[in-house]
Homo-oligomer: A and B are copies of this chain.
Amino acid sequence: MRPQVAVIGSGREHEERAERVGLLLAERGATVVTGGRGEVMAAACRGAKRAGGTTIGIVPGESRTQANEWVDHVVVTGIGHARNLAVVASGDAVIAVGGGWGTLAELGFARALGRYVVILEPGWGIEDVPRASTPEQAVDLALAHV
C-alpha cells in the first residue's frame, strides 16, 4: 500500500500553504487523508489532485455530500468530532497547517497513537512537536517518518 499522510488544520489564511503541502505529497506518491471538508482540508485535496494524486476525506456527518469536490474516496463516519481520531489514525504521519480547537484534538490523538506529527509554521505551539518553516520541509519530515 502507498503511504498515507494526514493533513489537518483550518483557517482560510492557511489554504495556500495547505494546497502546496497536498501537491508535494501527491508528487512524492503519498495519498492525502483529510477530514474532507473546507479550508485547509479542501486546499490540501485540491493540491493533491493538481498533481494527479489520490485523496481520502473522512467526514463527520452522515452523508457523502459533506465532502469537498477534490475528495476521491469519502468515508462517512456519522460520529461528529470523534472522526478526528480516524483522520490522524489513518495517516502514517501527520502535517498540521494552521488550525483551531479541532486541530488541537487531532494533534493530541496523533501523538497518543504514536504517529509522527509536524506543525507547519505558523500554527499551534505544542511542546515536543517538531515544526517546519516551509511546505517542502514539512513534507520531507513527514515522509521521512512513514
Contacts and interface: CB of A to CB of B under 8 A. Distances in A.
A77 B106 CA distance: 13
Main DSSP-derived SS at the A contact region = mixed
Interface residues on A, range: 35 or more
Contacts of A82: 78-79, 82, 85
This chain's copy number in the assembly: 4
A1 B54 CA distance: 12
A56 B78 contact: no
Interface in A88-146: 89-90, 92, 100-109, 111-113, 125-127
A85 B79 contact: yes
Contacts of A67: 1
Contact of A73 (B31, B85, B113, B126): B31
A23 B54 CA distance: 22
Residue from A1, A4, A71, A127 with most neighbouring chain B CB atoms (10 Å): A1
Interface of A: 1, 4, 31, 54, 56, 58, 62, 64, 67, 71-82, 84-86, 89-90, 92, 100-109, 111-113, 125-127
